[in-house]
Amino acid sequence: MISGQNKLSHLITVQEQEAASMQEVVRILQREGSQLKLVDANGEAVTIPDSIDQALRQIVQAIASGKSVSIIPQDQELTTQQAADILNVSRPYLIKLLEQGEIPFITVGTHRRVHIDEVMKYKQQRDTLRRKLLQELIEMTEEAGLYEDDE
């Protein structure tokens, strides 16, 4: 379900009765040179633009793999619970991040709201730092002779 409203969209998942149809869609999309078209009830066809084509293919691939997909408008403001869910952290931990100034937020009445762009920026920075620290840890253990590369 794609929502243009100012709410976080619902997760998109394949229902059991749709699984066979989804596999047929995946099969068609995997054909080399396949091009998506939108056909209305009168048979009028419009070629899907490349940017939408790519997005739809990614969505279909993720859903067919059993993943849920959520589409969020870029200008979306999130509740603290929604932001915590995206970051896969607890709401109290997110509140701590907000109060420490790690992620900017606004207050609407007595409630905090976090812009989706700020959440995604924090997530990207966090993930980059984690990868860097993991690589440093691997290098330290290799230097200490505690980790051997099989190559």
Could you tell me if 68 and 131 lie in one domain? Answer: no
Q: Is the pLDDT of residue 62 over 70?
A: yes
Q: Which helix (H) or strand (E) holds 150?
A: none
Buried b (16+ CB within 10 A) or exposed e, 32-68: eeeebeeeeeeeeeeebeeeebeeebeebeebbeeee
Q: Is residue 150 part of a domain?
A: no
CB 59 within 8 A of CB 12: yes
> What would you report as the CA-atom Rg of the chain, rounded to the nearest whole angstrom?
21
Q: What is the mean pLDDT of the chain?
A: 84
Mean pLDDT computed over 109-116: 94
pTM above 0.85, yes or no: no
65-69, 95-99, 128-132, 145-149: range with lowest mean pLDDT:
145-149
Could you tell me if 134 and 107 lie in one domain? Answer: yes
Q: Is residue 149 part of a domain?
A: no
pLDDT on residue 5: 39
The count of structural domains within the chain is 2
Indicate the residue among 32, 47, 73 that finishes a domain.
Answer: 73
